[in-house]
Amino acid sequence: MELDVVRLKALLDRWRERGDPESDQDYRHLTLASIEESLLNEPPSVLLEGPSARIRTERRRVGAADLEPLYLYESYRFWSGNDSLVARSYSHSPETVCFLCRFAGPEIALLETKDFPSELFREAVSYLRALGKVRFEHERPGGREPIPAHVVP
């Protein structure tokens, strides 16, 4: 229980660092703070092999055998130059992958419609399809939303 309080405090502090929580009407900054905290505090992981790709990729299995299966997931990071994408797929829904965020250098942001036509996104989708992923989502302030099929390459 004490650890949960520490993590919640860290999340609230990170939210405040991103700006005034009172003005975060759509909870975009809270969503980004939550993603940042989860990336910083990922449990132990194992680096996995993946299909070949034209971009830099990293595939990890995150969690431990004693964790509840809902907390076991694979994380994916894709890089091209200074830009990167982070995605996650949970073991209870292996055909689905959610793009959590994008980084442009050190700046983190949620994916927007303008990111979908990028070569980095297209290559990431190609890599994930080779792993059997067929449903693509992206994190939004209100929760996960499907990426429209007509924009997924």
SS (H, E, C) 64-111: CCCCCHHHCEEEEEEEECCEEEEEEEECCCCCEEEEEEEEECCEEECC
Report pLDDT digits (tens) over 18-64: 887 888 888 888 888 888 888 887 777 888 898 988 899 999 888 76
User: Which of the listed ranges 1-15, 67-81, 111-125 does the model predict with the highest average pLDDT?
Assistant: 111-125
pLDDT of residue 1: 41
Contacts of 13 (CB under 8 A, 6+ apart): none
Residue 89 contacts residue 68 (beta carbons within 8 Å): no
pLDDT value at residue 65: 61
In terms of Cα–Cα distance, which of 75, 73, 39, 77 is closest to 56?
77
Q: How many residues does the chain have?
A: 153
The 10s digit of each residue's pLDDT in 94-150 is 999 999 999 998 899 999 999 999 999 999 999 999 999 999 999 999 999 999 888
| Domain spans in the chain, listed from the N-terminal domain onward | 1-41, 43-151
